[in-house]
Amino acid sequence: MATDHPHISVVSPVYRGASMVQELVKRISDNVEKLTPDYEIILVNDASPDNSWDEILKQCHLNPKVKGINLSRNFGQYYAITAGLAYTSGDWVLTMDCDLQDRPEEIPNLYAKAQEGHDIVYARRAVRHDTRLKKLSSSLYHYVYYKLSDIHTDKSIANFGIYRRTVIDAYNKMPEKARSFTSLLDYLGFDVATVDVQHDDRLEGESSYNLRKLLKISSDAIIANSNKPLRISIYGGLFIALIAFIMAIYNVLAYLCGWVVVRGYTTTIFTILFMSGLIMCQLGMLGIYIGKIFDQVKDRPIYVVKDKVNF
């Protein structure tokens, strides 16, 4: 029977993972049992369009240490992780994706590193087994994120890691609607270590992340952690204003010196269009931040649980 207070909790969000759930549970169990008999595996179904929830239910019925959470709709990976973390009770908490690119065989290595006194231990993928497009988009995301937030991130680190109970308790108290898992953990300021791990190919299928989802995650992470884009828009506006001032002086001198015989409106129209576009861009940037404030003050739940099993 599952213990009321497990030593290790493992959280994995599941989306389009029906064919991988059984193997995921088996490999996690095999490796966590090397460390302790007191553990729980929490699988969070993020409203997957396949029969992932049915497969989770099967595993829950076979093993009471496997617990299932079924969200009412698709909220997104970080929100599914947050839902799972809210229901953990282990002294140590692991998070990992369901596609088995994060190898459960690395769990003992992460745990051993954590026992050296670290609060957070991230798995660092020495060699990534992802598509070229995904690697390129990841590198671009981390570059833009650094430029717009001044926060250094490691593109070889994702969601696979182990965390002390105090870290998870602090994370669960953060009410942000725009969730970025590792960014919020970094904000907490706990002691961090890394372990180089092997990164496998996805067990089956393809990643559900497309360009639109990656852009949304990127923008949410940047906006949630920095107001630098607003400062950049101010600097851009001042720079354009300076150029306009210089052009105005030039036009006055050209008129007084007789350099301009026939006035044209091409430059004027171009300037108006350019300035209008810049103003719209700045208003849009400001509107995004106001929109995030609006989402926050509505205080709606960041996820909704439809069903729970084995809790």
Q: Are residues 34 and 115 in the same domain?
A: yes
pLDDT at 2: 44
The pairing of strands 92-95 and 157-164 is antiparallel
pLDDT at 236: 75
pLDDT bucket at 4, cuts 50 / 70 / 90? low
Q: Does residue 219 lie in a domain region?
A: no
Q: Does residue 218 lie in a domain region?
A: no
pLDDT above 70 covers a percentage of the chain that reads 78
pLDDT above 90 covers a percentage of the chain that reads 45
Chain position carrying tokens 């849009």: 284
Q: Does residue 223 lie in a domain region?
A: no
Q: In CATH, what number is assigned to the domain containing residue 132?
A: 3.90.550.10
pLDDT at 83: 96
238-258 pLDDT tens trace:
777 777 777 777 777 777 787
Q: Are residues 21 and 146 in the same domain?
A: yes
Structural domain count, the chain: 2
- Do residues 195 and 156 touch, judged by C-beta distance below 8 A? no
To 10 degrees, what angle do helices 266-298 and 211-225 make?
80
Asked if residue 304 has pLDDT above 80, the reply is yes
pLDDT at 207: 58
Q: Are residues 156 and 288 in the same domain?
A: no
Catalogue the long-range contacts made by 125-129 (C-beta closer than 8 Å, 24 or more residues apart).
125/156, 125/157, 125/158, 125/197, 125/199, 126/156, 126/196, 126/197, 126/198, 126/199, 127/198, 127/199, 128/156, 128/199, 129/101, 129/199, 129/200, 129/201, 129/202
Q: Are residues 12 and 49 in the same domain?
A: yes
Q: Are residues 119 and 177 in the same domain?
A: yes
DSSP H or E segment with residue 10: strand 8-14
Nearest to 58 by CA among 21, 107, 17, 95: 21
Chain position carrying tokens 């969200």: 71
216-230 pLDDT tens trace:
666 666 776 677 777
Q: Are residues 200 and 132 in the same domain?
A: yes
Q: Given 3-state DSSP classes, what are the helix, strand and coil percentages for the chain, each rounded to the nearest 5?
A: 50, 15, 35
Q: Does residue 188 lie in a domain region?
A: yes
Q: Is the pTM of this model over 0.85?
A: no
pLDDT at 175: 85
Nearest to 311 by CA among 48, 66, 9: 66
Q: Are residues 195 and 278 in the same domain?
A: no
Give the whole-angstrom CA distance, residue 60 versus residue 310: 7
Residue 188 CA to its chain's centroid (Å): 16
Asked if residue 205 has pLDDT above 60, the reply is no
Domain extent, residue 102, equals 8-209+302-309
pLDDT at 55: 97
Q: Are residues 162 and 253 in the same domain?
A: no
Give the whole-angstrom CA distance, residue 21 versus residue 13: 11
pLDDT bucket at 274, cuts 50 / 70 / 90? confident
Asked if residue 117 has pLDDT above 90, the reply is yes
Nearest to 183 by CA among 165, 158, 213, 214: 158
Q: Are residues 31 and 162 in the same domain?
A: yes
Nearest to 10 by CA among 75, 76, 74, 106: 106
Q: Are residues 285 and 247 in the same domain?
A: yes
Residue 191 CA to its chain's centroid (Å): 20
Report the greatest alpha carbon distance in the chain: 94
- Average pLDDT of span 133-150: 65
